[in-house]
Amino acid sequence: MLMKRLSFRKPVAESIRQFRQEQATLDFTYSAVGATAKVPPAGYVVDHTRIKLGNGEEAFEAAKSALRRWEHFHLGWVAASPNTTPIESGEVVAVLGRVFGLWWLNACRIVYVVDEVGPITRFGFAYGTLPGHAESGEERFLIEWDRVDDGVWYDILAFSRPNYFVTKLAYPLVRCFQKKFARGSAAAMLKAVGSDHQP
Protein backbone atom coordinates (compact mmCIF):
# COMPACT_ATOMS: atom_id res chain seq x y z
CA MET A 1 0.00 0.00 0.00
CA LEU A 2 2.86 2.39 0.80
CA MET A 3 4.49 2.09 -2.62
CA LYS A 4 1.19 2.82 -4.38
CA ARG A 5 1.12 6.23 -2.71
CA LEU A 6 4.57 7.29 -3.90
CA SER A 7 4.95 9.17 -7.19
CA PHE A 8 7.18 11.59 -9.04
CA ARG A 9 4.17 13.77 -9.82
CA LYS A 10 2.15 15.73 -7.32
CA PRO A 11 -1.21 13.98 -6.77
CA VAL A 12 -4.16 15.87 -8.25
CA ALA A 13 -7.13 16.92 -6.12
CA GLU A 14 -9.33 14.10 -7.38
CA SER A 15 -6.85 11.36 -6.48
CA ILE A 16 -6.41 12.91 -3.03
CA ARG A 17 -10.20 13.00 -2.59
CA GLN A 18 -10.48 9.31 -3.55
CA PHE A 19 -7.64 8.42 -1.19
CA ARG A 20 -9.36 10.22 1.71
CA GLN A 21 -12.68 8.57 0.88
CA GLU A 22 -11.09 5.09 0.91
CA GLN A 23 -9.24 5.75 4.17
CA ALA A 24 -12.37 7.11 5.89
CA THR A 25 -13.83 3.59 6.00
CA LEU A 26 -10.77 2.10 7.76
CA ASP A 27 -9.75 1.80 11.41
CA PHE A 28 -6.85 3.43 13.20
CA THR A 29 -3.52 1.58 13.04
CA TYR A 30 -2.94 1.71 16.80
CA SER A 31 -4.96 0.80 19.89
CA ALA A 32 -4.19 3.71 22.23
CA VAL A 33 -6.59 6.09 20.49
CA GLY A 34 -6.82 9.39 22.37
CA ALA A 35 -3.68 8.78 24.45
CA THR A 36 -2.18 12.19 23.57
CA ALA A 37 -4.79 13.61 25.96
CA LYS A 38 -3.34 11.50 28.79
CA VAL A 39 -0.12 9.49 28.76
CA PRO A 40 1.47 8.18 25.53
CA PRO A 41 1.66 4.37 25.47
CA ALA A 42 4.81 2.31 25.89
CA GLY A 43 6.53 1.01 22.78
CA TYR A 44 6.38 4.27 20.83
CA VAL A 45 8.79 7.13 20.27
CA VAL A 46 7.43 10.27 21.93
CA ASP A 47 8.12 13.76 20.60
CA HIS A 48 7.20 17.00 22.39
CA THR A 49 7.69 20.49 20.98
CA ARG A 50 6.56 23.63 22.81
CA ILE A 51 7.13 27.25 21.84
CA LYS A 52 5.84 30.62 22.99
CA LEU A 53 3.95 32.46 20.25
CA GLY A 54 3.29 35.71 22.07
CA ASN A 55 0.97 37.22 24.66
CA GLY A 56 -2.70 37.98 25.05
CA GLU A 57 -6.02 37.30 23.41
CA GLU A 58 -5.01 38.67 20.02
CA ALA A 59 -2.12 36.20 19.73
CA PHE A 60 -4.35 33.35 20.94
CA GLU A 61 -7.09 34.12 18.40
CA ALA A 62 -4.57 34.48 15.58
CA ALA A 63 -3.02 31.11 16.47
CA LYS A 64 -6.43 29.49 16.76
CA SER A 65 -7.43 30.77 13.31
CA ALA A 66 -4.13 29.58 11.84
CA LEU A 67 -4.68 26.10 13.26
CA ARG A 68 -8.16 25.99 11.72
CA ARG A 69 -6.59 26.84 8.33
CA TRP A 70 -3.93 24.14 8.81
CA GLU A 71 -1.20 26.78 8.54
CA HIS A 72 0.98 24.69 10.84
CA PHE A 73 1.41 22.44 7.77
CA HIS A 74 2.42 25.26 5.37
CA LEU A 75 6.04 24.15 5.23
CA GLY A 76 6.75 23.94 1.51
CA TRP A 77 7.63 20.23 1.57
CA VAL A 78 4.52 19.07 3.46
CA ALA A 79 0.87 20.18 3.47
CA ALA A 80 -2.54 19.14 4.76
CA SER A 81 -4.99 18.40 1.98
CA PRO A 82 -7.48 19.83 1.72
CA ASN A 83 -6.53 22.73 4.01
CA THR A 84 -10.25 23.41 4.37
CA THR A 85 -10.77 20.16 6.32
CA PRO A 86 -12.89 21.11 9.36
CA ILE A 87 -11.33 20.67 12.79
CA GLU A 88 -13.96 18.15 13.89
CA SER A 89 -13.75 14.65 15.32
CA GLY A 90 -13.97 12.01 12.61
CA GLU A 91 -12.72 14.19 9.75
CA VAL A 92 -10.05 12.58 7.55
CA VAL A 93 -7.16 14.62 6.18
CA ALA A 94 -4.42 13.67 3.75
CA VAL A 95 -0.89 14.75 4.62
CA LEU A 96 0.99 15.33 1.39
CA GLY A 97 4.77 15.37 1.53
CA ARG A 98 7.65 15.71 -0.91
CA VAL A 99 11.13 14.36 -0.17
CA PHE A 100 13.97 13.63 -2.59
CA GLY A 101 11.71 14.39 -5.55
CA LEU A 102 9.02 11.92 -4.49
CA TRP A 103 5.48 12.85 -3.45
CA TRP A 104 3.64 10.67 -0.96
CA LEU A 105 0.24 10.61 0.70
CA ASN A 106 -0.51 9.75 4.33
CA ALA A 107 -3.92 9.55 5.97
CA CYS A 108 -5.07 10.66 9.43
CA ARG A 109 -8.41 10.98 11.21
CA ILE A 110 -9.13 13.62 13.84
CA VAL A 111 -9.55 11.80 17.15
CA TYR A 112 -10.69 14.65 19.39
CA VAL A 113 -10.93 18.43 19.54
CA VAL A 114 -9.92 20.61 22.50
CA ASP A 115 -11.88 23.83 23.06
CA GLU A 116 -11.67 24.93 26.71
CA VAL A 117 -12.11 28.28 28.42
CA GLY A 118 -10.60 28.79 31.86
CA PRO A 119 -7.45 29.98 33.66
CA ILE A 120 -5.65 28.23 30.81
CA THR A 121 -7.72 28.55 27.63
CA ARG A 122 -6.97 25.86 25.05
CA PHE A 123 -7.81 25.10 21.45
CA GLY A 124 -6.51 22.28 19.31
CA PHE A 125 -6.96 18.74 18.11
CA ALA A 126 -5.29 15.36 17.78
CA TYR A 127 -5.28 13.09 14.78
CA GLY A 128 -4.38 9.45 14.49
CA THR A 129 -2.92 7.39 11.68
CA LEU A 130 -4.96 5.26 9.30
CA PRO A 131 -3.61 2.35 7.20
CA GLY A 132 -2.62 4.80 4.47
CA HIS A 133 0.15 6.29 6.61
CA ALA A 134 3.84 5.40 6.76
CA GLU A 135 3.79 5.71 10.56
CA SER A 136 1.48 4.44 13.30
CA GLY A 137 0.49 6.73 16.15
CA GLU A 138 -1.10 10.00 17.15
CA GLU A 139 -0.23 13.70 17.17
CA ARG A 140 -1.81 16.56 19.10
CA PHE A 141 -1.60 20.23 18.12
CA LEU A 142 -2.59 22.62 20.90
CA ILE A 143 -2.74 26.39 21.46
CA GLU A 144 -2.71 27.46 25.13
CA TRP A 145 -3.32 30.89 26.60
CA ASP A 146 -2.27 31.13 30.26
CA ARG A 147 -4.32 34.01 31.63
CA VAL A 148 -2.07 34.31 34.70
CA ASP A 149 1.05 35.40 32.80
CA ASP A 150 -0.81 36.11 29.48
CA GLY A 151 1.54 33.79 27.54
CA VAL A 152 0.32 32.01 24.41
CA TRP A 153 1.99 28.71 23.56
CA TYR A 154 1.98 26.21 20.71
CA ASP A 155 2.40 22.62 21.88
CA ILE A 156 2.87 19.47 19.77
CA LEU A 157 2.80 16.03 21.38
CA ALA A 158 3.19 12.88 19.31
CA PHE A 159 3.85 9.18 19.69
CA SER A 160 4.74 7.04 16.71
CA ARG A 161 6.45 3.97 15.32
CA PRO A 162 6.89 2.60 11.78
CA ASN A 163 3.80 1.17 10.11
CA TYR A 164 5.63 -0.55 7.23
CA PHE A 165 8.82 -2.56 6.81
CA VAL A 166 10.17 0.10 4.43
CA THR A 167 9.73 2.87 7.00
CA LYS A 168 11.33 0.67 9.65
CA LEU A 169 14.40 0.23 7.42
CA ALA A 170 14.57 3.99 6.80
CA TYR A 171 13.71 4.94 10.38
CA PRO A 172 16.74 7.19 11.04
CA LEU A 173 15.70 9.23 8.00
CA VAL A 174 12.06 9.19 9.09
CA ARG A 175 13.11 10.55 12.49
CA CYS A 176 15.01 13.39 10.81
CA PHE A 177 11.88 14.42 8.92
CA GLN A 178 9.70 14.13 12.01
CA LYS A 179 12.00 16.54 13.82
CA LYS A 180 12.14 18.81 10.77
CA PHE A 181 8.34 18.89 10.70
CA ALA A 182 8.11 19.90 14.37
CA ARG A 183 10.59 22.75 13.89
CA GLY A 184 8.89 23.89 10.71
CA SER A 185 5.42 23.71 12.22
CA ALA A 186 6.53 25.89 15.14
CA ALA A 187 8.07 28.40 12.72
CA ALA A 188 4.89 28.43 10.61
CA MET A 189 2.78 29.22 13.66
CA LEU A 190 5.14 32.01 14.72
CA LYS A 191 4.79 33.48 11.24
CA ALA A 192 1.00 33.09 11.32
CA VAL A 193 0.69 35.16 14.49
CA GLY A 194 3.33 37.67 13.40
CA SER A 195 5.60 36.83 16.31
CA ASP A 196 9.30 37.72 16.57
CA HIS A 197 10.00 34.80 18.94
CA GLN A 198 12.47 32.18 17.65
CA PRO A 199 11.54 28.49 17.18
CATH, domain range 3-192: 3.30.530.20
Q: Which residue has the higher pLDDT, 183 or 2?
A: 183
pLDDT value at residue 163: 81
State the Cα–Cα distance between residues 175 and 2, nearest whole angstrom.
Answer: 18
pLDDT value at residue 132: 87
pLDDT value at residue 2: 46
Average per-residue pLDDT in the chain? 91
SS3 percent helix, strand, coil of the chain, rounded to 5, is 30, 35, 35
pLDDT value at residue 1: 47
Confidence band (pLDDT; 50, 70, 90) for 165?
low
Phi-psi region of 29 (alpha: psi -120 to 50; beta: other; left: phi over 0): alpha
Strand partners, 128: 109, 138
Strand partners, 49: 156
pLDDT value at residue 100: 80
Q: Which residue has the higher pLDDT, 97 or 34?
A: 34
* pLDDT tens per residue, range 84-129: 999 999 999 999 988 888 888 899 999 999 999 999 999 999 999 9
pLDDT value at residue 174: 80
* pLDDT tens per residue, range 2-26: 444 667 688 899 999 999 999 999 9
pLDDT at 176 over 80: yes
pLDDT value at residue 130: 97
At residue 114, what is the residue type? V
pLDDT at 195 over 80: no
Confidence band (pLDDT; 50, 70, 90) for 78?
very high
pLDDT value at residue 5: 62
For the chain, report the end-to-end CA distance as a whole number of angstroms.
35
SS3 for 4?
Answer: helix
Q: Classify each residue of 63-82 as buried b or exposed e, where b means 16 or more C-beta atoms within 10 Å of its C-beta.
A: bbebbeebbbbbbeebbbbe
pLDDT value at residue 9: 81
Cβ neighbours for 147, distance < 8 A, ≥ 6 positions apart: 119, 120, 121
SS3 for 108?
Answer: strand
Q: Which residue has the higher pLDDT, 195 or 131?
A: 131
How many C-beta atoms lie closer than 10 Å to residue 98's C-beta? 13
Let me know: does 97 contact 104? Beta carbons within 8 Å: yes
Give ∠ CA 163-124-62 in degrees, rounded to 5: 130
Cβ neighbours for 138, distance < 8 A, ≥ 6 positions apart: 30, 32, 33, 34, 35, 36, 111, 126, 127, 128, 129, 158, 159, 160
pLDDT value at residue 99: 82
Average pLDDT value for residue range 163-184: 82
